[in-house]
Chain A
Amino acid sequence: MTENKGSKILVFSTEKISDPAIDLAGLLKMHYPPTVYTINIPCSSAVKSRWIMHAFNKGFDGVFIAADGTDCAFDESCTDNTAKVISRTHELMKEKGIEPARLKMAAICSVCAEPFVKQMKSFAEYLSKS
């Protein structure tokens, strides 16, 4: 299904912080693989492992959490909580025989367009190799 089209990446972005950064990337005409799809949620620590696993099951090659980091408007525990979700999901992925590296997280601030593009490029490259 994904042959020759590049690896499909699902990005969970957050409405206030990382989604504006992804918008900004487009605004600045920065390019990243067109197989990157974004779903936005209020806060990165709200991502359920179940959604991530669903994405893998349905055929996504990688999932990327564009986290709020310390800029989170809700609470500073966001970074920790998001990290915990990731590590729990990594466990689930191992059980299912999915390579944990296919789930990544990085803090993307609201103007971090360039870091986001870099993340996407390197992630896509990594996924296409593995």
Chain B
Amino acid sequence: MSKINPDFSTELKKYGAINFNACYNCGNCTAVCSLSDEDNSFPRSMIRFSVLGLESEIQSSVIPWLCYYCGECSETCPKQANPGELMMSLRRWLTTKYDWTGLSGLLYKFIQLSIIAFILTAVGVIVFSVYENFKLENIMHYGHLFEMLAIGAVFSLILIPNIIRMWWFIILKPKVKVPIVYYFKGIWDLIVHMFTQKRTLGCDDNQFRWFEHFILVGGYLALLFTTIVLDWFGTENLFIIVLGYVESGIIFIVTFDFVLSRMKKKKEISKFSQPSDWFFVIWLFLLGFTAFVVRVFIDTNLLENNIWIYLFHLIILVQWALIIVPFGKWTHFLYRSFAMYFEKLQKDIKISP
């Protein structure tokens, strides 16, 4: 027995959902979705739960993460109820539900708070630089240190607890009994999905979108590795330097295309943009671009006299690491892979008696 909560619609609209109440439950969206199957039929099921406000049903579901937003459903929806954007909004909403700090919810819903957070972090970096008397070497040293610390902290304090919460919502709370071995069996899928997002390929005819996304993820992870472990800004190794250029180049070129398509609004996926979507692509673009420029300045020995460029990069980096990665859209990357993983667990149980 579930109680209906009509107020949930209003809540969800703050996460970017548009007009999904118009749904008359024809099921067209589910039928045209190439990722939807008998076990997980969506997006209509999620629209229905959202209209009725059955929060716990949504919270315990992995379905929002199974959607890669090809936009076919929204394009063909007879009521123009934007099922694709609803799924996107549900992912945002779920992100905030998984987040134990509650910060991401605030940042999603109130753009003012996001802007304040961005300003605060920027001010923090500048204050720190003032404190360090704008000495490039020190700042770069702490910058590098920050990268490592931030990753560690964000992961251990925010992301891992959040994933545990997600696990609790999806597996523990609904009392799905999963034998331990299944967790190990599924790991490979987790990794594959995390790094390849191969399901997108089933999504639409546009293989290019998957490819773009794939090299972006690859480039991003590799740049992370190159800057943190291989100390790109500090190294003299030509191979690493070139590698870093390629990686950061990939990031800003691909994200530039993303920004462009969001502005053109031609494709269904880029028709609606929530602030968090803009932040994500723009910061990623800036991240790649400033890293690229910083290294160019290093190679041309201009950085000493143009420390501002590194500071700018650092501000972006700090904002990225402290705001977007733990509380923003970046987490999708993680949650989606885990959702896939949990879905596999659910399926495995169904198959074995």
Q: Do chains A and B touch in the complex (CB under 8 A)?
A: no
Residues of chain A whose beta carbon lies under 8 Å from any beta carbon of chain B = none
Residues of chain B whose beta carbon lies under 8 Å from any beta carbon of chain A = none
